[in-house]
Amino acid sequence: MGLEIATTKLEDAANWGRKFSLFTYPFVTACCGMEFMSVAAPKYDIARFGAEFPRFSPRQSDLLMIVGTITERQGPVLKRVYDQMAEPKWVIAFGVCASTGGFYQNYSAMPGADQVIPVDVYIPGCPPRPEQVLDAIILLMKRVQEGRGHSQVRHKREQIARAGG
Amino acid sequence: MAKAVLDALGARFGAAILATSSHHGDDVAIVKRDALADIARFLRDDPAMAFNLPCYCTCVDYLGLDGMAPSAGTVPTGYASRTRGEGAGLPDARFAMIYELRSLVHGHRVRLKVPLMEDDLVVPTLSELWPAFNWLERETYDMYGVSFSGHPDLRRIYMYEEFVGYPLRKDYPKERRQPLVRREWSDE
């Protein structure tokens, strides 16, 4: 019992650290990238939330931002980038194309990036305002703290399964 | 000015030129497929033509329209009604290749249209004459399924190899998707 409380508190402390140091991998494919740059630039300043440092290697990042339309042809690439990221990891679908395919209904556009990988937070908008992005990051930070990110939940589920529960 | 191009084509190739039109300087010649290679070579090499800039080539799918049907004597509908004076052609040609050429020497331009039957979608490649047509013909093959005889590297250029069908044809359903990868939804 005592050990359980200790590990829970340890997890809380780790999550507190994780939520203030989100390292972003920007998977930028389309015009939403301009808004992403705007969020990253000093006016809106994503650095205030500890997510200031885009890492252009999936192995060094824990937040995958899918910024823009995903085509069917890009599906395997996106999956591979996601698989290369170390656990725990989080995914934000930036803009309506990454969330649902947006106004594209045709042979080439994928109807939402969640067809290929799990997504934690969806940001609507075409493109979204920078404030929406910051709102999404705050929402994600809340989830990280509560351990409700998809990879955290998955990890917990695996632990329970391993313990024979 | 560029009407001279159409006149020269008519004088030289005669029956291979099915129709011409020159609407506000927009010169169009509808030509037979079998003469396309010769016409293109003439347009490139003749000093009075000197078409040295291939602007684009693409294809049109007239499915559900009247194709390039003759408009004379009948009420023009579909394609024929929209482009007056270009009616002569193959009556039930479903596709038409379109080549847009421009001469930087003389400053004139011309558009060639080649009607094609659905069961015989072959056209000689022009990528030997203008290398810039190489990728454009690959795109046309990718999107419409027109095959270019003599093309050095006729592969899909935009779509993946696993893709079946030709997405810009009018009978390709817009909802049909051909995913390469999908995830299992049970992992959340």
Closest-CA distance of chain B to residue A107, Å: 5
Nearest to A75 among B172, B176, B181 (CB): B181
Distance CA A143, CA A150 (A): 9
Closest-CA distance of chain A to residue B181, Å: 6
Residue A4 contacts B where some CB pair is shorter than 8 Å? no
- pLDDT over 90 at A82, yes or no: yes
Instruction: Tell me what the mean pLDDT of segment A148-164 comes to.
Output: 88
Would the CB atoms of B178 and A107 count as touching at under 8 Å?
yes
Q: What sign does the CA torsion over B54, B55, B59, B60 have?
A: negative
The predicted structure's pLDDT at residue A165: 60
A51-55, A122-126, A129-133, B106-110, range with the lowest pLDDT: A51-55
B30-41 confidence digits (pLDDT tens): 888 889 999 999
Distance CA A123, CA A98 (A): 9
Q: Give the pair of three-digit tokens for residue B65.
A: 């329209």
Instruction: Tell me how far apart the terminal alpha carbons of chain A are, to the nearest angstrom.
Output: 16
Write out chain B residues lying below 8 Å of A117, CB-based: 183
Write out chain A residues lying below 8 Å of B158, CB-based: 108
Write out chain B residues lying below 8 Å of A105, CB-based: 174-175
Closest-CA distance of chain B to residue A45, Å: 32
Write out chain A residues lying below 8 Å of B176, CB-based: 107
Dihedral in degrees, nearest 10, Cα atoms B8, B14, B17, B20: 50
A63-72, B3-12, B83-92, B106-115, range with the lowest pLDDT: B83-92
Q: Structure pTM? A: 0.81
> ipTM of the predicted structure?
0.74
- Taking only residues 55 to 114 of chain A, the set having a beta carbon closer than 8 angstroms to any beta carbon of chain B reads 72-73, 75-76, 79, 105-108, 110-111, 114
Would the CB atoms of A110 and B179 count as touching at under 8 Å?
yes
Which of B183, B184, B185, B186 to mutate to test binding with chain A, by most A CBs within 10 Å of its CB? Answer: B183
Distance CA A78, CA A75 (A): 5
Write out chain A residues lying below 8 Å of B175, CB-based: 105
Instruction: Tell me what the mean pLDDT of segment B14-23 comes to.
Output: 82
**Residue A51 CB contacts under 8 Å (≥ 6 apart), including other chains:** A21, A22, A23, A24, A63, A137
The predicted structure's pLDDT at residue B70: 44
Distance CA B36, CA B123 (A): 8
Nearest to A107 among B172, B180, B183 (CB): B172
Distance CA B178, CA A41 (A): 38
- State residue A121 phi and psi, 5-degree precision: -130, 130
SS3 call for A6: helix
Please write down the HEC assignment for all residues of chain B. Answer: CCHHHHHHHHHHHHHHEEEEEEECCEEEEEECHHHHHHHHHHHHHCCCCCCCEEEEEEEEECCCCCCCCCCCCCCCCHHHHHCCCCCCCCCCCCEEEEEEEECCCCCCEEEEEEEECCCCCEEECCCCCCCCHHHHHHHHHHHHCCEEECCCCCCCCCCCCCCCCCCCCCCCCCCCCCCCCCCCHHHC
Q: Give the pair of three-digit tokens for residue B74.
A: 């009948």
Nearest Cα to Cα of residue A83 among B2, B70, B105, B181: B181
Residue A158 contacts B where some CB pair is shorter than 8 Å? no
